Amino acid sequence: MSKYSFKNDYSEGAHPQILEAFTTTNFDQQNGYCDDDYSLEAIEFIRSKIQNPNAGVFFLSGGTQANLIVIAAMLRPFESVIAANTGHINIHETGAIEAVGHKINQIFTTDGKLKPSDIQNVVDEHENDPPHMVKPKLVYISNSTEIGTIYLKNEIAAISNVCKANNLYLFMDGARLASALTSEKNDITLIELSKYLDALYIGGTKNGGLIGEAIVINNPDFIADFPYHLKQRGALLGKGRVFGIQFREFFRENLYFELAAHANKMAQKLTKGITDAGYSFLSDSPTNQIFPIFPNKIIEELSLKYEFYVWAKVDDENSVIRLVTSWATKEEAVNQFVEDL
């Protein structure tokens, strides 16, 4: 491909440190199913980073799988999930949550973020007519969201409060958690954040891993049996070492956040360049996905040199595109894009 791609954050392989770790460990014989030395060490690193020594930490290959397994494990058949209409589980997972039996109660948002009052409304409406309606029981949020926005500390705290008041679990899709936590606007630490969550998953694939995600279960009710759920859905893999090796590198020191910081820096450079050129954005994103609005003519010309998604039509003349940066994005490409613009 001769065009430079801002299409997504999984266009390249893995950070070289991770590939190297595969090589150096390659001939060590290890147990299967994440009972290998690397996974066990990675689990301890993660527990330490969130300051929860009792957390259940489980590795698997993908985010849709992480979402469907956590939700299937936590809910009983008649319980439902509250999510934003833009939530990944609601529109981009081919009905994976419904396929394990659960309804998603959608909340309409313009910024991809749930508000406590909306959550309370959904709960209230569903208390009108039991047992003829599903019972909302889990709140799904993503951070950063599908349109690049992030939750601030007070927003998370408020959502947590409404969850606790209504006996709802709080689950965070962290496919792009690293980008959220290292973004300029972020004001919450991973430790603080994790304390508000019953469960989250920490994305690896989109942040320089070869392949893999880490589910973290803080709620003690769902830890012991979680491996059964993983196995039943096809997520407990014999060569679990593959995940352990990656997350050990991520969290041994600070690689996980360094990679995201680079992606964010590249996105901000693009944002500044685009803003300076006089264009506006769909959302106020401090993370590695940005959504500029361009005239269709300009989009056409940019698409001769760059790959990206056309996200939505604005009007007959203008559209939103999505530009995604990553750990591997080259600064020259960013500069060139701004210049071309």
Query: Tokens in use for 234?
Result: 């096809």
In the window 80-99, what residues touch a copy of itself (CB under 8 A)? 80, 91-96, 98-99
Closest approach of a copy of itself to the CB of residue 65, in Å: 3
Footprint (CB under 8 A) of a copy of itself, residues 112-141: 129-135
Binding of a copy of itself at residue 41 (CB under 8 A)?
no
* Collapsed DSSP state (helix, strand, coil) of residue 254: coil
Q: To 5 degrees, how large is the angle CA 111–CA 335–CA 184?
A: 40
Which class for 225: exposed (0-12), middle (13-18), buried (19 or more C-beta within 10 A)?
exposed
CA 111 to chain centre: 16
Placement of tokens 């940066």 in the chain: 325
Restricting to residues 232-261, which ones interact with a copy of itself according to CB under 8 A? 232-239, 241-242
Q: How many CA atoms lie within 13 A of 147 on its CB side?
A: 21
Among 52, 106, 121, 318, which residue interacts with a copy of itself (rule: CB under 8 A)? Answer: 106
Q: How many residues belong to the chain?
A: 341
17, 22, 157, 195: residue in contact with a copy of itself (rule CB under 8 A): 22
Q: State which residue, 55 or 97, has the beta carbon closest to a copy of itself.
A: 97
Q: For the chain, how far is it from start to end, CA to CA, in angstroms? A: 21
Nearer to a copy of itself, 130 or 220 (CB): 130
187-206 residues in contact with a copy of itself (CB under 8 A) are 205-206
How far is CA 41 from each of CA 28, 48, 246, rounded to the nearest angstrom? 15, 11, 11
Question: What is the smallest separation between the CB atom of 184 and a copy of itself, expressed in angstroms?
Answer: 26
- Does position 61 interact with a copy of itself (CB under 8 A)? The reply is yes
**Where are any strands of DSSP class E within 97-212?**
104-107, 135-142, 169-174, 199-203
Among 152, 157, 158, 211, binds a copy of itself (CB under 8 A): 211
CA distance 24 to 20: 6
Q: Judged by CB under 8 A, does residue 30 bind a copy of itself?
A: yes
Stretch that binds a copy of itself, among 13-21, 47-55, 145-153, 191-199 (CB under 8 A): 13-21
In the region spanning residues 318 to 337, those forming contacts with a copy of itself, defined by CB under 8 A, are 328
Q: Kindly state the smallest distance separating residue 99's Cβ from a copy of itself, in Å.
A: 5
Least Å distance, CB 196 to a copy of itself, is 25
- Smaller CB distance to a copy of itself: residue 133 or 314? 133
Find the DSSP H helices in 186-282: 190-196, 226-232, 241-252, 255-276
